[in-house]
Chain A
Amino acid sequence: MNIVVCVKHVPDATADRKFESDNTVDREGVDGLLSELDEYAVEQALQLREKRSDEEISVTALTVGPAKAADAVRKALQMGADKGVHVSDDAIAGSDYLGTSLVLAKAIEKIGSEQKVDLVVFGMASTDASGGVVPAMVAERLGLPQVTLASVIESQGDQVRIKRDGDTATEVIGATLPIVLSVTDQSGEARYPSFKGIMAAKKKPVESYSLSDLGVEASEVGAEAAYSAVEEATARPPRTAGEIVTDEDGSGATALAEFLASKKFI
């Protein structure tokens, strides 16, 4: 079985995130890492390989992004993925979801031209753009069923069954491979890369593709081709000091209730 996990290199959410002058995310000037939500996708792919250890299962980590994005692939390799693919091309910068999904779909097709891809795994969304739509778009482009937002994944043969937790009900969805799957942060804690994994990752193969390798025209992607553009970005205002209710004469509870009522919490 051939599994492709799509992973994204995102700016570290705990650091100071910035925009470039053209209002795209600054991906060079800040520390980046493998999107935490994508770690769950890597974990599920690895668990599937471990649960079906009697089969030959290969896990490929795929990323699209500038040079530093290779770190996301390496992290996935450290966790246990077998090989990596890094699509990098200056023309991709500023792509919207449609552009990104096109590049990913073409890359998955190229991976599949050597060995058929049975399963594409995504995290539920990226931690920077938070769109959560790319899995569906890639599924559409590949002509595959999309089975998204899975919290529990079970598989046997070519059958996959997932649980999707909604606000009012939990759905159980069955599908036949090949499919595009996205998993939530409830699907199981992602493993840490072991020391052996860190050392082994160095020797695992990582292929680099450019747009021309994928047969994608530069005009189809990038900021120019994007349907949406960020016009303006404003830094979040600094947190203001809260209101402190001092209770000296027993009126504290009333003051608290009044405050909550004024904000329509009660």
Chain B
Amino acid sequence: MTMTEQQEGTTHAAFTESEERRELRQAVRRLAGTYGQEYFTRQARSGGKTTDLWLDLGKNGYLGVNIPEQYGGGGGGIGDVAAVCEELAAQGCPMLMMVVSPAICGTVIARFGTEEQKQRWLPGIADGTETMAFAITEPDAGSNSHKITTTARRDGDEWVLSGRKIYISGVDEAKNVLVIARTEDARSGKLKPCLFVVPTDAPGFEFQAIAMEMVSPEKQFTVFIDDVRLPGDALVGHEDAGLVQLFAGLNPERIMAASFATGLARFALDKATAYAKERTVFGDKPIGAHQAIAHPLAESHIEVELARLVTQKASALCDAGDDMGAGEAANMAKYAAGEAACRAVDRAIQTHGGNGATQEYGMAALLVASRVMRIAPVSREMILNFVAMHSLGLPKSY
């Protein structure tokens, strides 16, 4: 959203995106449209990958729009990369690795990496040739990231990393994983979070696919890290600023997840409205003429538009450097988008009747992906806790 077109008086910034942002959306829409849901589900069901699309996005500069120009990116912001993510999903190609590689890892390294680290990792993230996964969730920690137990200890100039991660997206497609671990504070003995770049082919690093019901070529993994030796410069940023660095990646994560969800919702609604305009059962009126069909779709359109608006607000705050302000908006965006996506997909299936459950119409294929958006990357309940505590000042409940 452009925040530059301030008007006179107490009125607000303009609620339109810049011309360049809209043109970026159009370009991505066109490219993604040449692949489409058919390609995406065909790859998913045949065990294939979406590497062609991924590299095509990279080649055209859409993957790394938020990466600084001097490291091979487009020099744009989170709002730009979120627009790419949304348009991909809106064409039936929801790409989870967009959330992870350019948005989370790209942001963290661009903001906190050393010059050498930026030169080493960012160009490959930007053009898609060195995708980076992100590993935070652990089997025994879940939403409680304070309980993370993956530990890094110093051994001379090197680090030795051990732990276990779960629900890590796209490890098989990634060259490296940005792993959240803890180091032991020399003085207090307390553990503090730190970020390490770990090559997926490092000795002691293993991963196993988790069988998921989601129709996606991008898989989820359990990751086993068993005394993985890393060079000293695998640590991203400062050892003592881990938490700040981690949070810098989490706002983009929520904004991207929200964009993934609103894109998915738009795809489902587009299909449902097209179907409702064509499908005729009683007389010669299409089913879309019946309010029982039209109103739920209209409601969903409103919900999706509201979610997009708060997502754009979060992006604008994030790009303006207001991490705290962006935090609240990004959480709200993720919540609103997840709810809107679930309802939109549910209604799209209902509009399609029996066809909604077929593979041919592709609506049921969206069920798990949309449902996951109420859970990941942070559950709706944790967001409600956050809003209750931080926005409303209510007592902490957990």
Contacts and interface: CB of A to CB of B under 8 A. Distances in A.
B31 A193 contact: no
A196 interface: yes
Main secondary structure on A side of the interface with B: helix
Interface string A187-207: 000011111111100100000
A196 B74 CA distance: 5
Contacts of B31: 192
A199 B65 CA distance: 11
A194 B30 contact: no
B27 A202 contact: no
Nearest to A197: B61
Contact of B20 (A191, A192, A199): A199
Contact of A192 (B30, B74, B75): B30
**Which of A191, A193, A199 has its CB near the most chain B CB atoms (within 10 A)?**
A199
A27 to B, nearest CB: 19
B69 A196 contact: yes
Given A78-B23, A202-B20, A195 B62 contact: yes
Contacts of A191: 60
Interface residues of A, number: 11
A259 B27 CA distance: 44
Interface in B64-90: 65, 69, 74-76, 80
Contacts of B234: none
Nearest to B31: A192
Contacts of A196: 61, 69, 74-75
B121 to A, nearest CB: 19
B214 interface: no
B23 A198 contact: yes
B76 A192 contact: no
A197 B61 CA distance: 9
Contacts, number: 35
- Chain A CB within 10 Å, residue with most, of B20, B27, B30, B76: B27
B384 to A, nearest CB: 36
B23 A194 contact: no
A196 B65 CA distance: 8
B24 interface: yes
Contacts of A192: 27, 30-31, 60
B69 A195 contact: no
A199 B60 contact: no
B60 A194 contact: yes
Given A199-B74, A199-B75, A199-B76, A194 B61 contact: yes
Contacts of A193: 23, 27
A195 B30 contact: no
Contacts of B24: 195, 198
A204 to B, nearest CB: 13
Interface of B: 20, 23-24, 27, 30-31, 60-62, 65, 69, 74-76, 80
5 smallest beta-carbon distances between A and B, as pairs: A194-B61, A195-B74, A195-B65, A195-B61, A192-B60
Interface of A: 78, 191-199, 202
12 contacts: A78-B27, A192-B30, A192-B60, A193-B23, A193-B27, A194-B61, A195-B61, A195-B80, A196-B69, A198-B24, A199-B20, A199-B75
Given A78-B27, A192-B27, A193-B27, 20 more contacts: A191-B60, A192-B30, A193-B23, A194-B62, A194-B74, A195-B24, A195-B60, A195-B65, A195-B74, A195-B80, A196-B69, A196-B74, A196-B75, A197-B61, A198-B20, A198-B24, A198-B27, A199-B20, A199-B75, A199-B76
